[in-house]
Amino acid sequence: MATHKEITNSLLAFQEGYNKNKKLKIMNRDWNRVILIKATDVESEHTLKLEDGELSVKEGAPEDPDLVVTSDSETLADLFYGDITPTEPYMNGTLVLKGSEDDIVRLDFISLMIWGE
Amino acid sequence: MKRVVSVSLGSSKRDHRVQVELLGEQFEISRLGMDGDFDKALAKLKELDGRVDAIGLGGIDVYVYAGKKKYAFRDGLKLMEAVKKTPVVDGSGLKNTLERETVKYLLKETGLIKKGTRVLMVSAVDRFGMAEAFVEAECDVTFGDLIFAAGIPYPIKTLEELEEIADKLLPEMTKLPFHMLYPTGKKQESRDEEKAKKYAQYYRDAEIIAGDFHFIKRYMPDTLNGQIIITNTTTTSDVELLKEKGATKLVTTTPVYDGRSFGTNVIEGVMVAILGKPWEQINPEDYLGLIKKLSFQPRIIEMAS
């Protein structure tokens, strides 16, 4: 089980990976979204906000998220640290993504562009 | 008579059956759409296995390519592996030869392709042979793989960048359900209005629009301005639609039977049935030799009024 702090740190690592990737910022200039990251086994909620290609991370839940990412704390931390890809846990139901199919593909894409081989 | 059946995840509205004579032999070629129902497609494949001479998988890619790397879609493999006795193909073998030859033919024999021609390939990893041929012809190519499959308005301009991005994305994205990345079933019958507006400029900036017809059709803007379309799987109503939109020419890469250009999976199935060799033993030279014997050439339909 990961702690809230570990999830926060994984999201900050994700943000750092994103910010280093100039191409990714260009690719996401059109995608303004508010994403809730929620753990199922510990009290932990975070907000990822993408605006004009920039990604920010905040502790706590947003009011009206476009996309909700829910999983156990360990999977969330592994995912945002890049130790696992989102595809497998998404396909086996460990990771639940609520939002439009296009947004789910886009989030998968961002994660793979940061951590992919 | 030899029977070749294409089982497609696409709409059953496009079903078709023809009889043709090829190299002195009669062929019945048919296409069966499963309306996006994956389980129905699996059941149909099992039913046909051992009862026909070749099966094509339509409306889905099994293998896509970027550079020397080959990636397999999990859903496509599931369908392919359901067939145990009959040769089963997805068209990727033929795309690599026939569609490459199409570009070379247009370059050599017509004035339709020149150095610097602006080409939009709506998706290149499913037609890497064609993508390479356009680059070899020194066309100004935009690869729309991210734009149309993933909704990311980022035009890829070189094969190197395409390979780099494919290498990051495809090992994982090929595990997703195919319908998340490609229009299947009912989606093939409708246009994505929002994206058609959003991405209209990519169509209008191009002189040639090439690639998968379902992608081309789903994101096509209200009007075109004289483009040449290079594709296949078009029906007579698709030809009318392209004419109405303002395309000037349609080039189909596969032969037209009964007003219909079949998918590469069907034609590859026919070729496998003619060659009578296991698919794994067939190489590009076999296909090229047969293309010559069958006198397959791209068909150019004039549309300008």
Of A90, A102, A113, the CB nearest to B168: A113
Asked if residue B305 is part of any domain, the answer here is: no
Is residue B302 in a domain? no
CA gap B232, B296 in Å, rounded: 13
Q: Is residue B102 part of a domain?
A: yes
Complex ipTM above 0.90?
no
How many CB atoms lie under 10 A from the CB of residue B177?
Answer: 14
Domains in chain A, please, with CATH?
Answer: 4-111 (3.30.1050.10)
State phi, psi for A30 to the nearest 5 degrees: -95, -5
Which residues contact residue B188 at a Cβ distance below 8 angstroms, ignoring those fewer than 6 apart? B10, B11, B14, B59, B214, B217, B218
Q: Do B180 and A101 touch (CB under 8 A)?
A: yes
Please tell me if residue A46 touches chain B, with a CB cutoff of 8 Å. no
In angstroms, the CA A38 to CA A40 distance is: 7
pLDDT in tens, B159-199: 999 999 999 999 999 999 988 888 877 777 788 999 999 99
Number of domains in chain B: 2
Structure token pair of residue A92? 């086996």
Contacts of B176 in chain A (CB under 8 A): 87, 90-91, 105, 108
B43 and B161 part of one domain: no
Contact B130, B102 (CB under 8 A): yes
Q: In terms of domains, do B86 and B140 share one?
A: no
Which DSSP letter does residue B208 get?
A: E
B46: β partners: none
Output the pLDDT for position A117. 61
Range of the domain at B8: 2-92+256-297
Q: Tell whether A113 lies on the interface with B, counting CB pairs under 8 A.
A: yes
Residues B200 and B71 in one domain: no
Whole-number pLDDT of residue B305? 59
pLDDT of residue B182: 83
Task: Give A58's contacts (C-beta < 8 A, 6+ positions apart).
Answer: A46, A47, A49
Co-location of B103 and B240 in the same domain = yes
B155: contact with A, CB 8 A cutoff: no
Beta bridge partners of B32: B7
CATH of the domain at B218: 3.40.50
Is the per-residue pLDDT at A116 higher than 80? no
pLDDT digits (tens, 9 = 90+) for A19-38: 999 999 999 999 999 999 99
pLDDT tens digits, residue range B52-86? Answer: 999 999 989 899 999 999 999 999 999 999 999 99
A27 vs B154, B175, B180: nearest CB: B154
